[in-house]
Every structure is written in structure tokens, then in C-alpha cells.
């Protein structure tokens, strides 16, 4: 063989190595039809064990990977779920994201994450972008959709599941804890520990979670003859939570205990009261949060809080999504799960109250 022919052979081999391997190439090497290759790489499709083995061996030898985008054009399914979330600085949502992604991967789906501010116009813009990705469904976490965009999702046949939020719309399913009940549990706990004046630091007031937690807290206080004596808004944001703590502690009706609408803000409130005002918790003031995020369990905070059952919430969210994907009828679209009051040392124990 001449030097020139050797060079030509090497160049041809390199060119061939960079050619895109198709399902037709796999079918030819495996000695099966192209449709058989497609069945092997399609979740839930039927193929004999012998065919699966031949196809997988051929795919491995050739370095073949199925083209999900091309397949989505044929099936009308991208197997992608769009997740819209307002913020990730709350430890609750990174944990949700991890568990939801893992659970959906087991079902053959992947999550695309989109960040959106809490304003309706911003959320609408983000969801408009999501629809361009041909996603199969949308999960909204702590954001709400406008009526116009709701209609657009309905017309496009894109199901929407709300996580940790309720937007009263018969077209949307939702998964939440019973935030109203949780607020009531906190009020009852504080009263039974002997507290007699109560503050509340609200989250974003457009959120159903915020409204329900405060409503449950207020209602239970009223049942015992009390009310919220000092209130400020933290909007579920770090800096605003700090300002809210300052407003309450400097008010003329400084409370004996404060319910903060979520743990992320409650931890900041605790630091402000301890390190800027020198107050001891719970000796000088009691603090309660909501979510039971990992830092709340640390000895330096040991925060009394309501624990949200994240694993159950994720399971129910995936259940609703799969019902939509498989066109199964839903008996109920809104799922509420019970939270659990976790009592720690940020509140006193029976400081003159009921024994």
C-alpha cells in the first residue's frame, strides 16, 4: 500500500468517526428494523429480550444516543417539565427541586428550571418562553399565572400544577400543606406556653401560603380572646425580613412572641434580635417559623416551626403530572397535606400558661 493510500484511509476513518450515528445504523448492525430500535429506546414500548440485547450492544459499539428532540417531534412529547420558581434563597425550594427532579427522572421526565419575579407580568413572560420549549407540563412554585396566560396554557393543552401555592382556578391542580391549620397550631402552641401578646411578620401578601398562614394564626388567637398586636411585612426576602424585625421590636406594642411566615425570614429575625438588640430567645421573646428547613434544626437556632412534608408533596405533584400525561381522570385537583408542629427551644415551655 502506498503512502498516499494510507493517508486516504486514515482520513476516511476519521471522517466516518465524526459522522452522526443514526437509528438506521444501529438497526443495520443489529440486524433488526428501525422501528425495533425505536421500541427499545422508548419507555413502556414492547420488545423481546433478544432484540433489546442486540440493539443495546449495537448502540454501545457505535456510540449511539437516541435523539430526544427528534423523537418529541414524532410523539408530540418532549418529556420535559417546566418548573417556574420565584426564588431559591429559601432552603425549602432547593430541597424541593432536588427531590422533584429525581422523582420525575424515574418517570422518564426532566426538569427545566425558570426563575421569575413574583409580579404577574414577569411570570407571564417567563412562561411564554417556557412554552417555546415544547414542554409537556408546568409546575409553578410560589408564583401565580395571569388569567390570559392561564387560557393560553389551556388552549395549548399544557397542564399546570401549583406547588406550595393555590390559585383558585378549576383548570389548575395544586399541592400544598394545610397552611391555615398550620397557622392555628402555632397560635395555640404560643398561647398554651403562656404568651399573651403576639407579633406577625408576613411574607409576600399576594401568596396564598402567606394569607392562609396568617388567617389561621389570627383566627385561633381570636378564639382564645387575643389578636395580633404588631405586624410587619417581610415579603419572604432577607433584607425586608430584617426591616420587619426592626419595625416590630421598635413598636409601642412589642410582642412577647412573633410568628414569622417562613423559616428563611425567621432565622434572620432571630439574628437581628439577638445580635443587634441583645435579646435572649426564648427568655425575652419567642420566635416561630414555618417550613422546618435544615438550618432551623441547628443548635444555634433550634427554631420552633411547622414542618412541611416535602416528600409527600413531591410524590403528589408527580402523581398529578402523570395523571395528566396518561390522560387519567382526577378525582380532585387540589391536594392539601397536614403539616406537623415541631417544638424546639425558640419558644418557652409552659411559661405560666396551661400545664
CB 120 within 8 A of CB 144: yes
| Domain annotation covers residue 346 | no
* Domain edge (last residue) among 309, 328, 344: 309
Banded pLDDT at 17 (limits 50, 70, 90): very low
Task: Please tell me the total count of domains within the chain.
Answer: 3
Is the domain of 171 the same as that of 196? Answer: no
Kindly state whether residue 316 falls inside one of the protein's structural domains. no
Same domain (yes/no): 109, 225: no
d(CA 200, CA 187): 11
Q: Could you tell me if 161 and 89 lie in one domain? A: yes
211 shares its domain with 104:
no
Among candidate residues 66, 88, 107, the one where a domain is terminated: 66
Residue 154 gets the label, from left (phi > 0), alpha (psi -120 to 50) or beta, of alpha
Condensed to tens digits (0 to 9), the pLDDT of residues 279-290 reads 999 999 999 999
Q: What is the CATH number of the domain that holds 62?
A: 1.10.260.40
Residue 2 scores a pLDDT above 50: no
- Separation CA 3–CA 233 (nearest Å): 80
Do 155 and 82 belong to one domain? yes
- 62 lies in the same domain as 86: no
pLDDT tens by residue, 178-235 = 999 999 999 999 999 999 999 999 999 988 999 999 999 999 999 999 999 999 999 9
Most confident of 34-43, 150-159, 174-183: 174-183
Q: Is residue 315 part of a domain?
A: no
Q: What is the CATH number of the domain that holds 193?
A: 3.40.50.2300
Domain presence at residue 314:
no
Indicate the SS3 state at residue 94. Answer: helix
**Is the same domain home to 41 and 88?**
no
Where in the sequence is the domain holding 270, given as residue range(s)?
Answer: 179-309
Name the domain boundary from 147, 176, 205. 176
The answer to whether residues 226 and 169 belong to one domain is no
> What is the rounded average pLDDT for all residues in the chain?
85
Query: Does 89 lie in the same domain as 62?
Result: no
Tell me the whole-structure pTM to 2 decimals.
0.78
Evaluated on CA atoms 91, 93, 98, 100, the torsion sign reads: positive
- On whether residue 324 sits in a domain, the answer given is no
Contact between 116 and 122 (Cβ < 8 Å): yes
Asked if 94 and 170 sit in the same domain, the reply is: yes
Res 292: pLDDT? 97
- Which of 11-25, 142-156, 208-222 is most confident? 208-222
Per-residue pLDDT band at 71 (split at 50, 70, 90): low
Q: What is the mean pLDDT of residues 267-280?
A: 97
pLDDT in tens, 233-264: 999 998 999 999 999 999 998 999 999 999 99
DSSP lists the bridge partners of residue 305 as 342
Would 225 be classed as within a structural domain?
yes
CB-based contact 100:161 (threshold 8 Å): no
Give all strands (DSSP E) within the chain, no chain letters. 80-85, 110-115, 137-141, 160-163, 173-177, 198-202, 228-233, 257-260, 286-288, 305-307, 334-337, 340-342
**What pLDDT does 270 receive?**
98
pLDDT bracket for residue 351 (50, 70, 90): low
Does any domain span residue 355? Answer: no
Rounded Cα distance between 175 and 333, Å, is 8
User: Are the C-beta atoms of residues 22 and 59 closer than 8 Å to each other?
Assistant: no
Residues 227 and 278 in one domain: yes
Q: Is 320 among the domain residues?
A: no
Q: Which residues pair with 291 in a beta bridge?
A: 307
Instruction: Based on the fold, state whether residues 225 and 292 are members of the same structural domain.
Output: yes
Amino acid at each position: 500500500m502506498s503512502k498516499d493510500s494510507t493517508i486516504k484511509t486514515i482520513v476516511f476513518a476519521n471522517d466516518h468517526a465524526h459522522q452522526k450515528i443514526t437509528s438506521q445504523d444501529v438497526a443495520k448492525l443489529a440486524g433488526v428494523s428501525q422501528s425495533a430500535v425505536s421500541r427499545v429506546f422508548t419507555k413502556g414500548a414492547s420488545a423481546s429480550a433478544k432484540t433489546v440485547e442486540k440493539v443495546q450492544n449495537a448502540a454501545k459499539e457505535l456510540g449511539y444516543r437516541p435523539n430526544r428532540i427528534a423523537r418529541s417531534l414524532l410523539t408530540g412529547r418532549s418529556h420535559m417539565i417546566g418548573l417556574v420558581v420565584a426564588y431559591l434563597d429559601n432552603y425549602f425550594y432547593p430541597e424541593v427541586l432536588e427531590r422533584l427532579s429525581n422523582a420525575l427522572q424515574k418517570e422518564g421526565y426532566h426538569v427545566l428550571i425558570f426563575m421569575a419575579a413574583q409580579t404577574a407580568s414577569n411570570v407571564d413572560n417567563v412562561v411564554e418562553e417556557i412554552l417555546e420549549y415544547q414542554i409537556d407540563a408546568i409546575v409553578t412554585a410560589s408564583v401565580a399565572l395571569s388569567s390570559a396566560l392561564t387560557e393560553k396554557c389551556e388552549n395549548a393543552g399544557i397542564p399546570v400544577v401549583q406547588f406550595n401555592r393555590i390559585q383558585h382556578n378549576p383548570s389548575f391542580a395544586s399541592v400544598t400543606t394545610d397552611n391555615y391549620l398550620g397557622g392555628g397550631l402555632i397560635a395555640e402552641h404560643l398561647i398554651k406556653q403562656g404568651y399573651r401578646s403576639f407579633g406577625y411578620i408576613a411574607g409576600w401578601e399576594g401568596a396564598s401560603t402567606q394569607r392562609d398562614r396568617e388567617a389561621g394564626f389570627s383566627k385561633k388567637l381570636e378564639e382564645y380572646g387575643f389578636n395580633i398586636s404588631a405586624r410587619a411585612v417581610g415579603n419572604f426576602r432577607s433584607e425586608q425580613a430584617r426591616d420587619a424585625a426592626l419595625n416590630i421590636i421598635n413598636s409601642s406594642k412589642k410582642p412577647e412572641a412573633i410568628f414569622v411566615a417562613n423559616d428563611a425570614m425567621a432565622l434572620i429575625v432571630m439574628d437581628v434580635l439577638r445580635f443587634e438588640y441583645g435579646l435572649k430567645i426564648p427568655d425575652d421573646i419567642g420566635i416561630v417559623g414555618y417550613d422546618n428547613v435544615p438550618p432551623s434544626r441547628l443548635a444555634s437556632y433550634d427554631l420552633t416551626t411547622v414542618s412541611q412534608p416535602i416528600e409527600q408533596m413531591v410524590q403528589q405533584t408527580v402523581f398529578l403530572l402523570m395523571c395528566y400525561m396518561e390522560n387519567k381522570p382526577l378525582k380532585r385537583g387540589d391536594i392539601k397535606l397536614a403539616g406537623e408542629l415541631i417544638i424546639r427551644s425558640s419558644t418557652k415551655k409552659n411559661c405560666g400558661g396551661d400545664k
